[in-house]
Amino acid sequence: MDPVLAGDLADLPAALEAVRVEATRILADLDHRPVAGTPRAEVAPLPHAGVGLRGALAEFIRRWEPGFSASAGPRYLGFVTGGATPAALAGDWLTGVLDQNVAAGGESAAPDLERETVAWLRELLGLGEAHSGAFVTGATMSNVTGLAIAREWLGEVAGVSVARQGVAALGPVPVLSATPHSSVYKALSMLGIGRDAVRLVPTLPDREAVDVSRLAAELASLEGRPAVVVANAGTVNTVDFDDLRAVAELRARYPFWLHVDAAFGAFAALSPEHAHLVAGLAEADSVCVDLHKWLNVPYDAAVQFTRRRDLQVRVFSSSSAYLGAPGAEPDFVHLTPESSRRLRALAAWFTLAAYGREGHREIVERDTALARRLGERLAASGAVRLLAPVRLNVVCCTLAEDPTERRVAAVVREVARSGAAFVTPTVYSGQHALRVAFSNWRTTEPDADRVAAAIERACSTVS
């Protein structure tokens, strides 16, 4: 064994303790460090002889850690970014410690833990037993997986197997959606259906939610040709929700696969005040739910749910003499794009076991209350104008005066430079805007007020 490696093995308990000490310091500092990090350009040469775990730790702390953002902290409100609850973090650490490959079962309980976690999530989000699920890396891969199953369903209806014959056997596929996330286009590109397959359906006035009567008209115009409908439960700009029940009811009249991108919106189900937004989610044929957003597990984790596991197996089976064939309870190697895969369910299992439905309901309700508080305060300040009501956890607003791309970008930069918060720019309804997204378990009222003050200050200082 390499002597440095052998040294680390002998020193492992003490070396891991040193890592724990640094981790604790970093976590204690999360509230205080600048929220936005500093990118770094130079690349050091590959070490010839290594410096061992403690040496690598020291070098990481010296060269890299100071430039990292406080994205796990309470005022990183860009994109839709969750943190990691204490229990989720512990689960993530143990995932590496145990280093299970959850591709196949038989010699470990790890795949059964993933199944238990999927069942807990299904119940948490109000999905029924008809949905089976599997962990993937993020909402993008969840959309890819769901739409791959949709593609196989279209094949089944047409009397071909896309998994065997390829997507050319299917011909063009109509994909109808009002406000799809960019990852849906990426998924269609990857699946050979193509980005141009998307037919944008008009939204309700001043909304991002689909106009169901226009969707019905689009479906009618297909004259019986099967389609895919991507419904959206939580759009990134204004967190708008399609009327899932009304969309699902259209299946009585038109043949289509209903995929719902509920990446973070699915968590509305935890809040009695907001659960109506996802009524009908259980009707979907496939559902995308991200976990590194509002479940607050570390990157990277999401779940893909479907009612048609038989079609999922057709797409993703990876049978071979040494891996076996999919049985009645297929191994995960036959269910997702990955073959070898980490036990990313463990972090989710830990946080659900530690805090349960109540703990996660409280996080969702606190984040939504904070978004509302920030929206009200910003609107009252006169510095910004809300572009949509705060429906759930995102404030979408623009500068009250002269909201050009340059000025919005300057506000985003100034907020980041202040170190107090991080928010991201967007374009909504043709207007340059700011998105402030609450999905971290650490965020409190003083944080929201600090963010408001940072935005107000930035608005007043940019020229």
Question: Which residues form the interface with ligand PLP (CB under 6 A)?
Answer: 79-80, 138-140, 181, 183, 234, 236, 261, 263-264, 290, 302
Residue whose CB is less far from ligand PLP, 79 or 120? 79
The answer to whether the CB of 420 falls within 8 A of the CB of 35 is yes
Q: Is the CB of 114 or the CB of 290 nearer to ligand PLP?
A: 290
* β-sheet bridge partners, residue 427: 432
Cβ proximity to ligand PLP: between 104 and 197 the closer is: 197
Smallest separation (angstroms) from ligand PLP to the CB of 14 = 37
Smallest distance, ligand PLP to C-beta of residue 35, A:
18
Task: Provide the minimum distance between the beta carbon of 179 and ligand PLP in the complex, in angstroms, as a whole number.
Answer: 9
What Rg, from alpha-carbon coordinates, does the chain have? 23
Residue of closest CB approach to ligand PLP = 138
CA distances from 225 to 212, 219, 221, 253 (A): 18, 8, 9, 12
Across the beta sheet with 286-290, the strand order is 132-136, 302-306, 286-290, 256-261, 227-232, 175-177, 198-200
Least Å distance between CB 291 and ligand PLP? 9
Smallest distance, Å, CB 45 to ligand PLP? 32
Contact of 177 with 198, CB cutoff 8 Å: yes
- Give the DSSP per-residue string, 191-217: TTS-GGGEEEPPBSTTSSSB-HHHHHH
DSSP lists the bridge partners of residue 133 as: 305
Residue 207 one-letter amino acid: R
HEC profile of 131-183? CEEEEECCHHHHHHHHHHHHHHHHHHHHCCCHHHHCHHHCCCCCEEECCCCHH
Nearer to ligand PLP, 190 or 453 (CB): 190
Q: Is 98 helix (H, G, I), strand (E, B) or coil?
A: helix
Nearer to ligand PLP, 131 or 259 (CB): 259
Q: Shortest distance, CB of residue 181 to ligand PLP, whole angstroms?
A: 4
Q: 296 vs 418, which CB is nearer to ligand PLP?
A: 296
For ligand PLP, the closer of residues 334 and 435 by Cβ is 435
Burial class (CB in 10 A: 0-12, 13-18, 19+), 431: middle
Q: Whole-number minimum distance, CB 176 to ligand PLP, in Å?
A: 17
